[in-house]
Amino acid sequence: MIKRLFDWLKQPLGLIAVGIVFLAVFSVAAYGLYTTQQSPAQPIQFPHKTHVAFGIQCLYCHPGAAKGPSAGIPSQAKCWACHQQIAKTQTSVLLAPLKEHVESGTPIEWVPVAQVPDFVQFNHRAHVAAGQNCENCHGDMTTQTIAENPQVFNMGFCLDCHIKSAGEDQAKLNKLADCGTCHY
């Protein structure tokens, strides 16, 4: 039985079949990897670039970045504060979900884009205080609609910058490159 199968696989058609299976598995794996690098689907196609173009500062909607560990996602009350005064809100199809959520009083379920694993203790405030701009990590929001992740937030990304910014200052390097700075 098995022998017959092998025999069949050895002939050209069989080889093609093997090739197809291999390609399929490979493509699925590649696609899986690819999807992890894509922006997830969001409930609202939030156009960051439009908002940035209006001159709205990052910290207006994500004030936590300057205050503490998490930048935060704005409450829909904050969205609504402006949007209820914008006529387009009432008509736009894209904005319908916002209207819906506000009226039904249910939270909008955003999917986080920029994440670090649980065992990394990240603090926005320290980075903002050190003079890092948002786009250094999160990319240029003037070109993005829903947030994309331009960086893989792995340890290399963090550490490269930490070591670069420490420069020759040994004390600063001790602090910035210490395992205990992020992992505890």
Partner 1 sequence: MATVTDLKITELKLSEAEGGKWGMVIDQDICTGCQACVAACAMENNVSFVGDVDSGYGRSMHWIRIERFWEGEYPEVKMTPNQPMMCQQCGSATCEPVCPAFATVHSQAEQLNLQVYNRCVGTRYCANNCPYQVRSFNWRDYERPEPLPNQLNPDVTVRTRGVMEKCTFCIQRIHKAQDNAKAEGREVVDGEFTTACAQACPASAITFGRVDDSESLVSQLIKHGHGVKHLEELGTLPNVTYFKGG
Partner 2 sequence: MSEQFSRRDFLKLAGVGAATTAILTGCGPASRYVKREPYMQMPEYNYNGQSTYYATTCRECPAGCGLVVRTMQGRAIKTEGNANHPLNLGKTCARGQATLHGLYNPDRVTDPIKRSRGDASSTNVDWDSATQTVADALKNYKPEEIAFLMGTAPDHLFDFVSDLAAATGINAPVRFGALSMFEARATLSKAAENLFGKAGLPFFDIGGAQVVFSFGSNFLETWLSPVSYTRGFVGLREAKTKQRGYLVQFESRMSQTGTKADEWIPLKPGTEAMVALAIGRLAFESRGDALPRAFVDVDPLDVASKSGVKLETLERLAAMFAASAGSLAIPGGPSLGRSNGLAVAEAVLALNAIPDNFGKPGGVYFSVMAPNETESHRPASTQEMQEFVQKMADGKFKVLFVHGVNPVFELPKAINFKGALSGVEQVISFATFPDETALEADFVFPDHHGLESWGYQRVATGSAQPVLSGSQPVVSPFYNTRATIDVLLAAAQLAGGTFASALPFKDEVEFLQGKLTPLMSEAGGFFSAADINTFSAYFQQYGGWWKLDGAFGTPDSADVLNRNLNGAESEFSEGEFFFVPFVSPILAEAGANKPWLQELPDPTTTVMWNTWVEINPETAHELGLENEDLVKIVSEFGEIEAAVYKYPPIRPDTIAMPFGQGHTAYGRYAENRGVNPTDLLGQQVNEAGDLAFAGMKVKIEKTGKKLPIPRLESIMGVYGEALGEEH
Partner 3 sequence: MAEVVDLLAVFPDLEPAANAIENLRSIGVHDDCMNIISGIPVTEAMLGRPNAWSNVPRIAVGGSILGFGVGYFLAFVAPYLYPYPIQVGTQAYVPGPPSVVVLFEMTMLGMLLSTFLGVFLDSYFPNYRPMKYVAEISDGKIAILVECSHVDEKKITDTLKKSGAESVNPAEAQHL
The residues that touch partner 1, with contacts defined as CB under 8 A, are 117-119, 121, 123, 125-126, 129, 174-175, 178-181, 183-184
156 lies in the binding site for partner 2 (CB under 8 A): no
159 lies in the binding site for partner 3 (CB under 8 A): yes
Q: Closer to partner 3 at the Cβ: 55 or 167?
A: 167
What are the CA-CA distances from residue 144 to residues 37, 114, 150 (Å)? Answer: 15, 14, 10
Spatial CB neighbours of 25, under 8 Å, sequence gap ≥ 6: none
103 lies in the binding site for partner 2 (CB under 8 A): no
Q: What part of residues 99-158 is at the interface with partner 3 (CB under 8 A)? A: none
- In degrees, to the nearest 5, what angle opens at C-alpha 154 toward C-alphas 136 and 32? 110
Name which of partner 3, partner 2, partner 1, none residue 163 binds, using a CB cut-off of 5 to 8 Å depending on partner kind: partner 3
**Residue in this structure with the two tokens 């994309």, named with its chain if needed:** 148
Q: Closer to partner 2 at the Cβ: 73 or 173?
A: 73
- Spatial separation of the C-alpha atoms in residues 151 and 141, rounded to whole Å: 13
Query: The tokens of 124 are what?
Result: 């926005």
Name which of partner 1, partner 3, partner 2, none residue 10 binds, using a CB cut-off of 5 to 8 Å depending on partner kind: none
- Spatial separation of the C-alpha atoms in residues 46 and 95, rounded to whole Å: 9
Quote the radius of gyration of the chain (alpha carbons, Å). 24
Binding site for partner 3 (CB under 8 A): 159, 163, 173, 177-179
Binding site for partner 2 (CB under 8 A): 36, 40, 63-64, 67-78, 105-113, 115-119, 124, 152-154
